[in-house]
Structure 1
Amino acid sequence: MYTALVQQFKDAQLKAAGAYLEVRAAETALFPSDERHCYRAVETRADYRTDRELSDFCDRLSHVLVKEAIHRFSPPGGRLEIHGQKELKNASVDIRGALEAGKCPDFDAFWSHLERTFSGDAGKRIGLIQAAKLIIDGFGIRPNSEIKRTSSAIVLEARIWSEPCHRSSLRKATYHSQSTAAGLTRGLAAFAAHAGFDALASVLKHGRLVDYEFETREKVSFQGLDVAMFNEKWQFKFSHQVGDALSLFISEFGADYLATRDRY
């Protein structure tokens, strides 16, 4: 199915090469070769150019399959991270080697590998483990971290630096911190969807906190979560119900990764 696309592309290249040669012949007939017409408007398709074109097509096709797997197999509210080159290797698919041997890379085998690895419960668990890692990294949680618990909330802080907005008294997360905020909110959205906090999952996924412009100490409130924004950190105040569920989520899906943070 997908491997056949490569052969179809190669066939299209041959047809295109033939069409170019026909135009070249027509040009030669109009301008017979002599000292005045040693330069030609039509360029034939050299082997190196068609080889590069085919290689680029195969690289793009591998990316398309990875994106399709992410779309199909990500857990509700979350997004799988799939590393294409790593999974090609795991599937024993060598794009360069196949092309150099004059063969079509086996993209059908690659897709079968992606299905086996990421579909169903296996893929859902991988996605939730990835979400837990994003949360742990975003809050800088370590095995011996103390979680602040008040009478009304469970409090976690993320080191998110901000800078003034252009010609405004408002602030926004710096470019580097936007990456931290994006990963953290993506992880929390996956957690919330898994734990049944659908309203919270929806706003975290679509609320665009990453590039939100705020006043220092401004508080943004969601269902079960308040986020207070300071110049050098964001403070997340979870309701006890949400915070306790988050603790269980990290224990179930982040325990292995959390244990490795003792090494840092």
Structure 2
Amino acid sequence: MGNTDTNVVTAQADTGPAIRDLFAALEEDKGTTDGSQAESGGPEIVVTQDTGVALNTEVPKSPGFTAYWKQYMATVMGAEEDIKSILAAGKVVFGKDYATGEAFSGWQLLRKTRSEIISSVVMKAEREFAPPGGKLEITTYSASELMPEDWRTSDDEAFDPDKLWVALEAKYGGNYGIELGRTQLASQIVNAFCLGRNPPVRKANRLELSDTIYTEKKFRGGMEMGYSTMDSVCKLHAAMAAFCEWAGDHSTARRLEARSTELFNNRGEVKSRERFDMGGIGYVTYNTSMLWEIYGPLGDKFQAFISTYGREALERGRP
């Protein structure tokens, strides 16, 4: 799932009983500049374009990252000097002209720790600015672009991770990070089901979506998913659970998460035509595919979610 920092939308969907096929209608909407739906009698989905980042003018409270770094740096540098002194004294003790014992490179430790601090700050921002029940991905490259050139200096005294946090908070805090996380989630779902090429099939009371899987024979008989397939399927469970959180179906979200854990514990065991029911969502497994079903009003909300947040991903996936 890539980091799509642009074209984030804010949407509010009325998920009434009348729903058009929004996937088919995306072709009709192509070329519009305001992001709104064509007239169709379906639910109103108001889409507005986020054209900038609202900066927080309040003086931020220090998050403590820079203080931690300076304390760590002082401790490492002090320990490095202490070890050097001990090794020098050891030459006299052992009557040798070379040290007995091992030194360490404080420079290498500081390089590694700087990198870990950056990653930890970004991960904290991903957790705090993500949509409720969902995720947000901020690449380290995107984070570093928020900082001035001198932030990447090799001068350890100038390294100031508090400034990184302030920049992340200014960009991703508030509504922007929430909407970006939902756009990333929609893109993940669109790609997993190849919705640009294979839109859902609407039946009387459900939407049907197909996910191709790779399976292989188990040593003791039966079939199981390959490791990469199992990893992808578990991530899809998590993505669909996050969608359910957005849709307000928390029970289905919890059951999807439980099913993902069960699948992982069973090493991706697959039985053809076995059905699993998670409430508002279910699926049937086959040896080469999984047929997902989204029932009733939740299917309507799924179309509203993807049509609002997944338009670009759908267009990229079209043949």
TM-score range, shorter chain: 0.7 to 0.9
**Deviation for aligned residue 1:254:** 0.7
1:185 aligns with 237
**Deviation for aligned residue 1:145:** 4.2
| SS of match in other structure, 1:226 | strand
Alignment of 1:156-175 (within 5 A): 156-169=209-222, 171-175=223-227
8 Å CA contact 1:163, 1:172 repeated in 2: yes
Which one of the candidate residues 25, 42, 46 is aligned to 2:101?
Answer: 42
Alignment of 1:2-151 (within 5 A): 2-32=65-95, 37-45=96-104, 49-92=105-148, 97-99=152-154, 101-142=155-196, 145-151=198-204
**Deviation for aligned residue 1:94:** 6.1
| SS of match in other structure, 1:80 | coil
**CA distance, structure 1, for counterparts of residue 148 and residue 218 of structure 2:** 49
**CA distance, structure 2, for counterparts of residue 91 and residue 163 of structure 1:** 48
**CA distance, structure 1, for counterparts of residue 150 and residue 219 of structure 2:** 48
Task: Map Cα deviations across residues 165-199 of structure 1 (whole Å, 9 max, x no partner).
Answer: 33242x33212222431332222111100111111
* Moved segments of 4+, more than 6 Å: none
**CA distance, structure 1, for counterparts of residue 125 and residue 224 of structure 2:** 33
**CA distance, structure 2, for counterparts of residue 179 and residue 120 of structure 1:** 31
**Deviation for aligned residue 1:258:** 1.6
Q: Can you give the 5+ residue segments of structure 2 that lack an aligned partner in the other structure? A: 1-63
8 Å CA contact 1:7, 1:104 repeated in 2: no
Q: What is the TM-score when the length of structure 1 is the normalising length?
A: 0.86
Task: Map Cα deviations across residues 185-220 of structure 1 (whole Å, 9 max, x no partner).
Answer: 222111100111111111223432454423111111
Task: Map Cα deviations across residues 73-121 of structure 1 (whole Å, 9 max, x no partner).
Answer: 22222121221222112333666x422x454322111111221222232
**CA distance, structure 1, for counterparts of residue 118 and residue 248 of structure 2:** 34
Instruction: Call closer, same or farther: CA 1:6–1:98 in 2, change over 3 Å.
Output: farther
**Deviation for aligned residue 1:256:** 2.4
Higher RCO (Cα < 8 Å, 6 or more apart): 2
**CA distance, structure 2, for counterparts of residue 165 and residue 159 of structure 1:** 19
**CA distance, structure 2, for counterparts of residue 203 and residue 239 of structure 1:** 15
8 Å CA contact 2:284, 2:292 repeated in 1: yes
| SS of match in other structure, 2:131 | coil
Q: Identity rate of aligned residues, in percent?
A: 24
8 Å CA contact 2:230, 2:268 repeated in 1: no
- Structure 1, 245-254 or 151-160: larger mean CA deviation: 151-160
| SS of match in other structure, 1:141 | coil
Q: Which is richer in helix?
A: 1
8 Å CA contact 2:199, 2:209 repeated in 1: no
Q: Can you give the 5+ residue segments of structure 1 that lack an aligned partner in the other structure? A: none
